[in-house]
Amino acid sequence: MKAAVTHKHAEDILNDLKMLYDLWNTIKGYLLMAFTNEPISPDVEGNFLDVKSHTSKYLRVVAEKIDAHQFRYDPEKISLLLRQSISVTHLRSLPIADRKTLFDLWHEVYVHLSQVLGAFLFIMEGYQPPKKEKKITSIASLKKGASGTRKKESSIGKLIAALLFVAAAIIILILRSSK
């Protein structure tokens, strides 16, 4: 879809976003387990893998429906955290600084997911967001900007040039008539 979000599509997208949001909160619990010393059962590891799988699934579903440029929910960061989180045991074996970095990444995505979820709740109330335009960063446009050429001369510059031309013409006429 990836067009401007309409009210009729917002409900479907909102349900998928809520599911992604709930799964993301579940992942938080597993990240917090990495900071404890409690034993980790095989069931916990299996459940963690299931949650990762479902999160990936809903991430793909949401990515098909909404534009990450229009609604910033950080799909790349979600994928990054899921790739780096092989298992709860693996997370626990990471140095404390790496675990904190992963948790900070989780929190950043959580904030953005919360904002997007709020935006879709707002759309359900009738708000229609404007479509954001991408900036043009083609090589040709960048070269034009770097060359220093101006697209338009100012009207004051044209006026001064015309006045100088008229003044030069008057001076030439005066000099010819005085001979």
Q: What is the CATH number of the domain that holds 55?
A: 1.20.120
Residue 115 lies in a domain: yes
Residue 39 lies in a domain: yes
Contacts of 167 (CB under 8 A, 6+ apart): none
In the chain, the number of structural domains is 1
Question: Exposure pattern of 69-105 as b/e (b: 16+ CB <10 Å)?
Answer: ebbebbbeebeebbeebebbeebeebeeeebeebbeb
Burial class (CB in 10 A: 0-12, 13-18, 19+), 134: exposed
Residue 149 lies in a domain: no
Residue 129 lies in a domain: no
Residue 134 lies in a domain: no
Instruction: List the domain range (segments joined by +) for residue 61.
Output: 7-124
Residue 2 lies in a domain: no
Output the tens digit of pLDDT for each of the chain's 179 residues. Answer: 455 666 667 888 889 999 999 999 999 999 999 999 989 999 999 999 999 999 999 999 988 888 777 787 888 899 999 999 999 999 999 999 999 999 999 999 999 999 999 988 888 887 776 666 666 667 766 666 666 655 555 678 788 888 888 888 888 888 888 76
Residue 76 lies in a domain: yes
